Amino acid sequence: MTKVITYGTFDLLHKGHIRLLKRAKALGDHLTVCVSTDEFNAIKGKKAYTSFEDRKYILEAIKYVDEVIPECDWDQKISDVKDHDIDVFVMGDDWEGQFDFLKDYCKVVYLPRTAGISTTKIKKDLGLGDYKKD
């Protein structure tokens, strides 16, 4: 079984998120999604519109997602890869090169983002004021 993992806040779920999850799942048999907790988002200077528990609940309902775990700090990625026997780490290409240190533990894949949509854009369009990077 090939196991894949990806990370994100997944706030205001949109087409780009779903496309990322679908393409990540296509790289293996099991997809683990690691979702930033509200506390970790605060450390990153972000505030999600939707609570961690609700974002987790929504992700668990998506057919491409097999497991959802919390992301609590920047440094847990290596231990997540080891503890969950991950074969492939996936992120959007806006993070290109940022996670190459994981190549010692698994394959690292950067997928193209979906043009024209992002949580940042949605928040800006709605005047929600938090325009931090998705």
* Residue 46 is among the residues annotated as catalytic for this protein: yes
pLDDT confidence of residue 23: 97
pLDDT confidence of residue 127: 80
Please tell me which residue in 3, 46, 77, 123 is annotated as part of the active site: 46
Element (H, E) at 130: none
Please tell me which residue in 15, 22, 44, 133 is annotated as part of the active site: 44
pLDDT confidence of residue 35: 97
Q: Quick one: tokens of 45?
A: 């200077």
Q: To the nearest whole percent, how much of the chain has pLDDT over 90?
A: 75
Neighbours of 13 (CB within 10 A): 16
C-alpha atoms less than 13 angstroms from C-alpha of 70 in its C-beta half-sphere: 11
Element (H, E) at 35: strand 30-36
The pLDDT tens digits for 61-105 are 999 999 999 999 999 999 999 999 999 999 999 999 999 999 999
Q: Is residue 122 over pLDDT 70?
A: no
Spacing of C-alpha 67 from chain mean position: 12
